[in-house]
Chain A
Amino acid sequence: MVQPQILHPNTQISNITRQFRDAASRLQPGKLVKDEDFTLFEAVGALEIGDPKMDSGSLVFDPDLDEELGLSTVATAEETVWLMDELIRREVAWHMGYPLSQTLFTSVHIERLLWPVPRQLTDARFDRGDPVATRPPSLILDVFQPYCIGLIKCCDLVLSMITSEHYYEEEDFATQIYNRPLLHDFPVDEVLVMLQNARIWLHDSSLPAGLKDALKARLDLRQSLLGLFQSCALGDRSTIEHLDRSIAYIKMVESSAILGRATANEAFTLKIQRKLASSVPPRPMVAIERPKAFDFLRQLITESTIAFQVFDITASGDLLVAYQTFMAQSPQPAIYVRALLQSFLTCHDAVLGKFAVKDFIAQDIQSLVRPIVPLLDHGVGLDDTATDAKFHFCSRLDSFMNRCGHSFLNLFRTFCLNRCRVRRTLCHAALEWDQIQAEAEEMDTLAQSLFREEPMPYPPGEELTLSYSLSSWVYHHKLMQLRIVVQTGFELSIYAPHEFTEIYWYLSFLSSTHLSHLERISFFVSSKQLSAQTSPNAVRETLRNLYRHFTWLKATEAMSKALHRVLVVIQRHGQLTNPNPAYASELLRYELRMRPFMHLSVPEPIDVDVAKDLASLRNLSDPVILQQASQLIQVARKAWDEVMREKWHLQPLSRTEEVKSSPNTSLGATRYGVVEREWTKDVQNAMRACIGAGIAISTLSKAFHEGRIAAVKVEVPPVGHRDRWHSSWPVPRISG
């Protein structure tokens, strides 16, 4: 046997090549020798060494690899422009979710600054290791190097923001940094000084004016991006002026990109992937096309700035609308912006930096149900005469509010996820809120006896009942989530057209349930008993809040009922019918679609046969159904008009100093009032869908009366199509 080699006094290695081969060759074909805990399932994920498709370190096709990465420390101004623009294309790709190994970490310059990991900021240099004394001033070292450092620091701030909030690895963003901390430990201010010095260097240089301006614009853009990310990290609002400047820089960068010229040396290479810790196969380089990259950047900067407008919102209900509306934009805001909005919920340990979670949720409950129990300061009134029961109740109420606060804030966070995750998370949340509702009912029961609430007949003239304020509040939020689950199902094209009939029926069922729930709430809020607790103004406010929810739901209910009817008639005449594939069954499909709703205690799950029966409207004739549909769609139209009149927010917005001091306030507000703009667009699109449905109904009625209903052509424009007026409202288009 070969003599073992001693690696370390306590470790030795012995060559077993021949012994191993010999032993292995004696195994029966197909037999494995393996660790007990190791499964072949895991082995599927293993990288095969030597296979160039899997093994990023394989040298097979590249004998030159052993060359050090070539990094030239000279570049012309044209080349520097090109290098900066190429980096931006990769930076944007990273923002969009591609890993660093395929984007910025293909740059030899970035690699040189980050590896070996610099101990001081001054170590991050292209000419690290070279003798320092003989360094002539150069564009690469005095301008491009600070630019790269600025870029890396931007990435560091972006990464910190995203990883401190909810995001989905692979779906939204790739957080891997391959043991190269992105200059994380060095202060932003020092980097800003470097960028400033680079600008001065450039100013004093003798470059031609055009190139000088092009480089300056790139440094300015970098500086303003870094400034923006820094203020976002601190929760500071940056100004509209700052935004305008940044947009102007992008424009300059974009228009001067033509000056750039590619470098002779390879500045971007996949070879670096061989050095990065990696358990994935080699992957291609990704750089976003220039126009798209700049568009992305513009949107990123704009949204990161105007996102701060939500700080002007003063009521929880309005904030929820704002989060929902902001995030429903198409294209959806970048993951950085979605993380930023989440960070506002815990800004300086308070919602929007000003509401303690408990106050925030108490305000939401108050504004909706005006409960008989005081939610805050309920300990204050307690004196020696207070009973144990009261103490007990107060502590339970506290812990209930804490628990709710968490779930309530998660609702805001949920809207910041990617669209598929919004729906999925709401499906789970519905179950959680079902549980909360049960707890709330217990609290209500305790409160009733403790505060001696008098039962009242509801509906008027019927049995006596009580307000159940807390659980009413929970149920309201739960029903809203259920409705969004259904509507995002349309938006995400989850349902096939032949399923629309039943889904619209279910949507109308949910909205009807919600409407009667709101009616019940408003009955108790306006009853003498509860309104005696609060000021008439507060009661009026709550009723107005309820009314706003009511109009929105009325529109939704009427429109879904109308569309349900249109689809029933269409399907009766052999259009959009179920293709009935051999492997499918009605029951399985129903179970699948109703899965999020099947385990709730309220609204009670509906049996498949009952649902089918109700959705079929089998006792109604075609003309009756069409007649109903056309009445319903008019109701929907009026309700949407009313929604539009009511505006998106209930409470006035607080105006910031900045807006007040700006001379053209109204201009600024309309130009940047993103929630207002998006909300209005949403309602307008719903109205257009409503009009579209009206046209479908009259076309269908006409065809029916002319006896050619079986010959009409029916199409449902898919999401993204010009004629799909609203993504959550598919409307059939009928012709012929």
Chain B
Amino acid sequence: MELEEAEATQFLESLLGKTLHVTVPDGRLFTGRFQCTDRESNIILSTAFEYRMPPKASEKAAIDEVKATGQPRRADMTSRFVGLIVIPGKQIAKMEVEEKRDWPGSSGQPFSIRTKT
């Protein structure tokens, strides 16, 4: 049990300072720097942004337009800065961590479109 807790703590500590993407039940997504958590999975994110799905009406309008014209059309999510936030554990519908991607086979070189050819 003690070992398990140590492992759990280690895992959680490894996430500190990373950017988390947290979705809440009403569909909004929050991104921010992970600062703190506890047993109930309450989390604190700093310099957080809130993203909301576009309103149903403009989404529908975009889809209709795509159908009618065949041209791609976007209905953007709206975002705003919300600063320091607490997300209670029970509000977390989905949690993701953003990480640097290691390009397979590369020697630590960051991926770039140009090197692909």
Which A residues form the contact surface with B (CB < 8 A)? 4-17, 19-35, 38, 42-43, 45-50, 57-60, 66-68, 274-279
Besides A10-B100, A32-B37, A57-B50, 11 other A-B contacts (C-beta < 8 A): A11-B99, A11-B100, A15-B95, A21-B89, A24-B37, A30-B38, A33-B16, A34-B35, A49-B24, A57-B52, A279-B82
A56 shortest CB reach to chain B, Å: 8
* In contact, A42 and B84 (Cβ under 8 angstroms): yes
* In contact, A17 and B81 (Cβ under 8 angstroms): no
Known contacts A19-B11, A32-B37, A50-B24; is A278 also within 8 Å of B85 by CB? no
The distance in angstroms between the C-alpha atoms of A20 and B111, with both chains bound, is 29
Q: Is B66's beta carbon under 8 Å from chain A?
A: no
- B58 partner residues in chain A, CB cutoff 8 A: 68
Closest to A58 in B: B26
* In contact, B5 and A27 (Cβ under 8 angstroms): yes
Binary CB contact string for chain B from 1 to 29 against chain A (1 if under 8 A, 0 otherwise)? 00011011101110111000100101110
* In contact, A11 and B86 (Cβ under 8 angstroms): no
Known contacts A27-B9, A33-B9, A275-B78; is A14 also within 8 Å of B85 by CB? no
B116 shortest CB reach to chain A, Å: 9
* In contact, B40 and A9 (Cβ under 8 angstroms): no
Residue among B7, B81, B82, B101 making CB contact with A6, cutoff 8 Å:
B101
Known contacts A33-B9, A47-B86; is A67 also within 8 Å of B57 by CB? yes
- A276 partner residues in chain B, CB cutoff 8 A: 80
Residue among A6, A32, A59, A67 making CB contact with B26, cutoff 8 Å:
A59
Q: Is B63's beta carbon under 8 Å from chain A?
A: no
The distance in angstroms between the C-alpha atoms of A17 and B44, with both chains bound, is 15
The distance in angstroms between the C-alpha atoms of A17 and B94, with both chains bound, is 5
Residue among B24, B55, B81, B84 making CB contact with A46, cutoff 8 Å:
B84
B29 shortest CB reach to chain A, Å: 11
- A34 partner residues in chain B, CB cutoff 8 A: 16, 35-37, 44
Q: Is B110's beta carbon under 8 Å from chain A?
A: yes
- A277 partner residues in chain B, CB cutoff 8 A: 80-82
The dominant DSSP class at the B interface is: mixed
- B36 partner residues in chain A, CB cutoff 8 A: 32-35, 38, 43
Interface size class of B (residues with CB under 8 A): 35 or more
Which B residues form the contact surface with A (CB < 8 A)? 4-5, 7-9, 11-13, 15-17, 21, 24, 26-28, 30, 34-41, 44, 46, 50, 52-53, 55-58, 78, 80-89, 91-101, 103, 110-113
B86 shortest CB reach to chain A, Å: 5
- B88 partner residues in chain A, CB cutoff 8 A: 48-50
* In contact, B85 and A49 (Cβ under 8 angstroms): yes
* In contact, B99 and A49 (Cβ under 8 angstroms): no
Closest to A2 in B: B96
- B37 partner residues in chain A, CB cutoff 8 A: 20, 24, 32-34
Known contacts A38-B36, A275-B78; is A28 also within 8 Å of B97 by CB? no
The distance in angstroms between the C-alpha atoms of A534 and B89, with both chains bound, is 81
Closest to A42 in B: B84
The distance in angstroms between the C-alpha atoms of A43 and B38, with both chains bound, is 13
The distance in angstroms between the C-alpha atoms of A49 and B87, with both chains bound, is 5
Known contacts A24-B37, A27-B39, A33-B37; is A48 also within 8 Å of B99 by CB? no
- B12 partner residues in chain A, CB cutoff 8 A: 20, 23-24, 27, 33
* In contact, B96 and A14 (Cβ under 8 angstroms): yes
Closest to B78 in A: A275
CB-defined A-B contacts under 8 Å, sample of 14: A10-B110, A16-B15, A24-B12, A26-B4, A27-B38, A31-B39, A34-B44, A38-B44, A43-B86, A49-B85, A49-B87, A50-B87, A276-B80, A278-B80
The distance in angstroms between the C-alpha atoms of A67 and B27, with both chains bound, is 15
Residue among B17, B41, B57, B85 making CB contact with A21, cutoff 8 Å:
B41
B109 shortest CB reach to chain A, Å: 11
- A32 partner residues in chain B, CB cutoff 8 A: 36-38
* In contact, A23 and B11 (Cβ under 8 angstroms): yes
* In contact, B9 and A67 (Cβ under 8 angstroms): no
- B53 partner residues in chain A, CB cutoff 8 A: 66
* In contact, B55 and A68 (Cβ under 8 angstroms): yes
Residue among B89, B103, B112 making CB contact with A24, cutoff 8 Å:
B89
Known contacts A32-B36, A33-B13; is A12 also within 8 Å of B99 by CB? yes
Closest to B111 in A: A9
Residue among B16, B85, B100 making CB contact with A48, cutoff 8 Å:
B85
- A29 partner residues in chain B, CB cutoff 8 A: 39
* In contact, B83 and A279 (Cβ under 8 angstroms): yes
* In contact, B84 and A279 (Cβ under 8 angstroms): yes
Known contacts A6-B101, A279-B81; is A49 also within 8 Å of B86 by CB? yes
- B15 partner residues in chain A, CB cutoff 8 A: 16, 20
The distance in angstroms between the C-alpha atoms of A60 and B91, with both chains bound, is 12
The distance in angstroms between the C-alpha atoms of A29 and B4, with both chains bound, is 15
- A42 partner residues in chain B, CB cutoff 8 A: 84
* In contact, B28 and A57 (Cβ under 8 angstroms): yes
The 4 A-B residue pairs with the shortest CB-CB distance in the complex, in nearest-first order: A279-B83, A34-B36, A26-B8, A23-B8
Closest to A65 in B: B55
* In contact, B100 and A27 (Cβ under 8 angstroms): no
- B97 partner residues in chain A, CB cutoff 8 A: 13-14, 16
The distance in angstroms between the C-alpha atoms of A26 and B44, with both chains bound, is 18
B102 shortest CB reach to chain A, Å: 9
The distance in angstroms between the C-alpha atoms of A534 and B21, with both chains bound, is 78
Closest to B91 in A: A50
Residue among B46, B52, B91, B110 making CB contact with A49, cutoff 8 Å:
B91
A593 shortest CB reach to chain B, Å: 39
Q: Which of A11, A66, A68 has the most CB of B within 10 A?
A: A66
Known contacts A49-B24, A59-B26; is A11 also within 8 Å of B81 by CB? no
The distance in angstroms between the C-alpha atoms of A33 and B89, with both chains bound, is 14
The distance in angstroms between the C-alpha atoms of A465 and B78, with both chains bound, is 76
* In contact, B80 and A25 (Cβ under 8 angstroms): no
The distance in angstroms between the C-alpha atoms of A20 and B98, with both chains bound, is 14
The distance in angstroms between the C-alpha atoms of A32 and B38, with both chains bound, is 5
- A67 partner residues in chain B, CB cutoff 8 A: 55-57
The distance in angstroms between the C-alpha atoms of A13 and B95, with both chains bound, is 10
Q: Which of A14, A15, A50 has the most CB of B within 10 A?
A: A50
- B16 partner residues in chain A, CB cutoff 8 A: 33-35
Q: Which of B13, B27, B113 has the most CB of A within 10 A?
A: B13
The distance in angstroms between the C-alpha atoms of A11 and B110, with both chains bound, is 11
The distance in angstroms between the C-alpha atoms of A237 and B54, with both chains bound, is 49
- B103 partner residues in chain A, CB cutoff 8 A: 9
The distance in angstroms between the C-alpha atoms of A12 and B37, with both chains bound, is 23
The distance in angstroms between the C-alpha atoms of A12 and B41, with both chains bound, is 23
* In contact, B35 and A35 (Cβ under 8 angstroms): yes
- B84 partner residues in chain A, CB cutoff 8 A: 42-43, 45-47, 279
* In contact, B96 and A24 (Cβ under 8 angstroms): no
Closest to B98 in A: A13
A61 shortest CB reach to chain B, Å: 11
B82 shortest CB reach to chain A, Å: 6
B42 shortest CB reach to chain A, Å: 9
Q: Which of A7, A16, A23 has the most CB of B within 10 A?
A: A23
The distance in angstroms between the C-alpha atoms of A667 and B4, with both chains bound, is 89
- A9 partner residues in chain B, CB cutoff 8 A: 101, 103, 111-113
A72 shortest CB reach to chain B, Å: 15
